[in-house]
Structure 1
Amino acid sequence: MSARVRIVGGGLAGCEAALSLAAQGTPVLMVEQKPLRRSPAHRLDGPAELVCSNSLKSVRLDSASGLFKEELKRLGSRLLPLAEACALPAGAALAVDPAAFSARVEQALDADPRIERVSEEVVSLPESPCIVATGPLTGAALSAEIEAHFGQGRLSFYDAIAPSVSRESLVEGALFTASRYDKGEADYLNAPLDRATYDAFTAALAAAEPYPAKDFEAGVPYFESCLPVEVIAARGAESLRFGPFRPVGLRDPVTGRRPHAVLQLRRENAEGSVWGLVGCQTRLRIGDQQRIFGMIPALAEAEFVRYGAMHRNFFLDFPSTLTPFQESRARAGLFFAGQMTGVEGYVESIGSGLLAARHLADRLAGRSPSLPPAETLTGALLRFLVGQTPGRSQPMNVAFGLLPALDGPRRGKGARKQAYAERSLAALDAYLQESQDLRA
């Protein structure tokens, strides 16, 4: 019999990992604090609770979320079929009844003789083999244990995310490459704003309504060095020009003069396909982010890979704490999964749990784990997380911008997404066939 795996946490990632391991014949002890104790965000006693929206986003293959779901189903996801079984009418999106979904997951866990469930609060890291998937509201005692395990400075307790955009969607003629004062390499893309554009942009920022904080986030302070861009704009018309949009040390090669203001964009992956808006962490609603940042000429046609957000969120600095296979760099056999690894979103958490289970199963069987291909969203997301600059990592969701560029001439948006999907699924099928051959 295989060694019993302990899974800490009964959210989406933990439940996916438990069901996936059990399906491979591995016995599982699943430890979850509910119903004895709930975090401030939870309302149900059951597992796999959807704490905010009930939408798992689009099912269309020409969307990143839809393609990602298809990849996970081909990889053997146990939760996605359960979600589809309690879907609600929602057009091209997969929306579910949260209570019905939780009940179906609980039934699946209880029906599997390889899974034992225990209700208790875990306050220390269990022995290996183990998957920790306790989520963004991990309790104080376990958080302290994890921090002691990895060392100080390797964990974050809230996120302050600036939007990211795909490189190919930027307006090329409205950008120039440079670093301030021409120091070092020209590593930044610079999007100049003239006075009229800047004034309209800052006025729109100051007037926009941010997302309200959730009850359990009340009182979380802003740090002066990491203020939301709309808060800076509300302090005065010139505040951004003396802050993240300062033009000093930069010269627009088109005009030969210093711009009135400049938005800088910084590369976020080695391929240069994703660029982040420097200093633009925000709580604005998604529609306002699209509209207001789209006022900047270089971003007029921007495709957002990730939207800005600021909220309470316990997560690891993936590149310095975890291997690409979600295993602790400090201890073999200790894996982490779900939102605490830096994935953002329901389906991303499911995928993280599924991959952690696959990687741990490989370790138990004496096999070397392998990542899905870079051409898949599943593989691209993990590669992005581990490839971030240590100490500067931020959560990420799946997006086409994470994928390697397509070969051949530039396509229209619809054709490009279809080509990404076709390439991804072909690469995944080949990977699964190769994996099956190795395990045979």
Structure 2
Amino acid sequence: MTHDIHIIGGGLAGSEAAWQLAEAGVRVRLSEMRGSGDGTAAHKTDGLAELVCSNSFRSDDATSNAVGLLHQELRTLGSLIMRQADLHRVPAGSALAVDRDLFSESVTTAIASHPNITLVRERVDALPDGPAIIATGPLTAPSLATGIAEATGREALAFFDALAPIVHRETIDMEVAWFASRWDKGDTKDYINCPMTKEEYLAFHAGLIAGEKSEFREWEKDTPYFDGCMPIEVMAERGVDTLRYGPMKPVGLDDPRTGRWPHAVVQLRQDNAQGTLWNIVGFQTKLKHAEQVRLFRTIPGLQNAEFARLGGLHRNTFIRSPELLDGTLRLKSRPNVRFAGQITGCEGYIESASIGLLAGRFAAAELRGETMTPPPVETALGALLNHITGAAVAETYQPMNVNFGLFPPIEGRTKKADRKRMYTDRGRAALADWITPPAEPADTRSAVSQTV
């Protein structure tokens, strides 16, 4: 099948962009290098939209949370990623978490079976000459990255994404650990909690700092971490109590054995539909594997833990989008090329899919000879797009999850407790106005002719 547009990269953004274009009647060639003999340091399968870090799409609360509002907007706009996430969700309280294998398999099936999409397992080494969307993510092949750098006139920036360990559920000691919601919020009890005394915590903290870490490669040196995916040992180095105010916060979590809050808590979240795998929340790490096993088994409840996957780090590259892209994600120096996903500097699964959705819709409109108005900045989609393409200062541009700080402020004096709901109410109204076509102007010609 000949194609109208070429998408490079079959992650969350590339898959979503391909789906949006195909549903609009555009013929798509989707190139994915995994399955062609090439792979990455982070991916484990050849499946499209593989989740390589957490299995959580984060909060699904659309009334008081920016990412929950983004979920709702994507559902409204027919997102493939959200549809499959909803089909394969696993218990995670107010968060949307998925069975990562079933999710990826279903996205792959949907893409491969669409009559307007040709899925090709191949590595692409240069920017296409025709209409294209680059959605190669944080692990863009070096040859293509070189081509991007040549086209943009600037080197890509880089930081690290980190992988959290995954534990087999049957090896967790539930006589020590207990179920509760995250920090005891909500009515469900979807997290496994492992308590620590002060002495246990201090020993664990010291072990994180002293533990043997994997060596950086030369090209990885002097590369900044992103705070949203900070290795746990780096957090530990920032202060003895940093973890207790972060991923190991014990607030509201009464240990049923003592009736009191522990000094610190390690939480695990369900990772697959069967409930056999659980990931350690916030425990991304660059500790060597043997060191991880030794140290994580000092956590009460995990003394006999068996790990389905240990933690690790991988390189992440992104472009200076506010300087290089226009308001519809086109590369200013080569307008036939759009960028989508993490390579634009958005951070997070759902944010990547969101920018893929917008890139696909912008491209579909352009191929039809139409102009698509960007979503209003009061929406989660619009706020994220504005951050990527214009709001940030390019020299200090860093990856960003969607958050209310990207939205225009609520005008007037408001109560802090009401502000989040006001953001989401305003965002829903703005999206409704954006997707509602304007009323057709009255045909005055017939009326005029009748009066002549």
Q: Normalization by structure 1: what TM-score?
A: 0.67
1:356 aligns with 2:356: no
Distance 1:213 1:138 in 2: 29
Cα offsets for 1:342-387 (capped at 9, x unmatched)? 0000000000100000111121112223211111111011112222
**What letter is aligned with 1:360?**
A
Partner of 2:242: helix, strand, or coil? helix
**Contact 1:4/1:28, CA 8 A, preserved across alignment:** yes
Tell me the residue number matched to 1:35.
Answer: 35
Tell me the residue number matched to 2:421.
Answer: 418
**Deviation of 1:311 (Å):** 6.6
Alignment of 1:217-366 (within 5 A): 221-223=220-222, 283-284=234-235, 288=242, 291=245, 312-366=315-369
**Contact 1:220/1:312, CA 8 A, preserved across alignment:** no
Distance 1:334 1:288 in 2: 43
**Deviation of 1:135 (Å):** 0.7
Alignment of 1:2-41 (within 5 A): 4-36=4-36, 37-41=38-42
Tell me the residue number matched to 2:50.
Answer: 49
Go from structure 1 to structure 2 and tell me whether the alpha carbon gap of 1:122 and 1:87 turns closer, same or farther (over 3 Å shift).
same
**Contact 1:217/1:312, CA 8 A, preserved across alignment:** no
Go from structure 1 to structure 2 and tell me whether the alpha carbon gap of 1:31 and 1:216 turns closer, same or farther (over 3 Å shift).
farther
Tell me the residue number matched to 2:76.
Answer: 74
Distance 1:411 1:71 in 2: 25
Tell me the residue number matched to 2:108.
Answer: 106
The percentage of aligned residue pairs carrying the same residue is: 38
**Contact 1:79/1:350, CA 8 A, preserved across alignment:** yes
**What letter is aligned with 2:330?**
E
Go from structure 1 to structure 2 and tell me whether the alpha carbon gap of 1:227 and 1:130 turns closer, same or farther (over 3 Å shift).
closer
**Deviation of 1:290 (Å):** 8.6
Indicate which of 381, 392, 398 corresponds to 1:394.
398
**Deviation of 1:78 (Å):** 1.5
Go from structure 1 to structure 2 and tell me whether the alpha carbon gap of 1:320 and 1:407 turns closer, same or farther (over 3 Å shift).
closer
Partner of 2:102: helix, strand, or coil? helix
The number of aligned residues is 327
**What letter is aligned with 1:48?**
A
Go from structure 1 to structure 2 and tell me whether the alpha carbon gap of 1:217 and 1:367 turns closer, same or farther (over 3 Å shift).
farther
Partner of 1:50: helix, strand, or coil? coil
Partner of 1:391: helix, strand, or coil? helix
Distance 2:316 2:19 in 1: 26
Partner of 2:433: helix, strand, or coil? helix
Partner of 2:437: helix, strand, or coil? helix
Distance 2:75 2:52 in 1: 23
**Contact 1:54/1:98, CA 8 A, preserved across alignment:** yes
Partner of 2:49: helix, strand, or coil? coil
**What letter is aligned with 1:158?**
F
Distance 2:207 2:412 in 1: 41
**Contact 1:208/1:284, CA 8 A, preserved across alignment:** no
Partner of 1:284: helix, strand, or coil? helix
What value does the CA root-mean-square deviation take over the aligned residues?
3.6
Alignment of 1:103-142 (within 5 A): 103-142=105-144
Tell me the residue number matched to 1:260.
Answer: none
Tell me the residue number matched to 2:149.
Answer: 147
Distance 2:102 2:2 in 1: 32
Larger CA Rg, structure 1 vs 2: 2
Distance 1:375 1:73 in 2: 17
Tell me the residue number matched to 1:58.
Answer: 59
**Contact 1:209/1:284, CA 8 A, preserved across alignment:** no
**Contact 2:3/2:29, CA 8 A, preserved across alignment:** no
Mean CA deviation greater in 34-43 or 387-396: 387-396
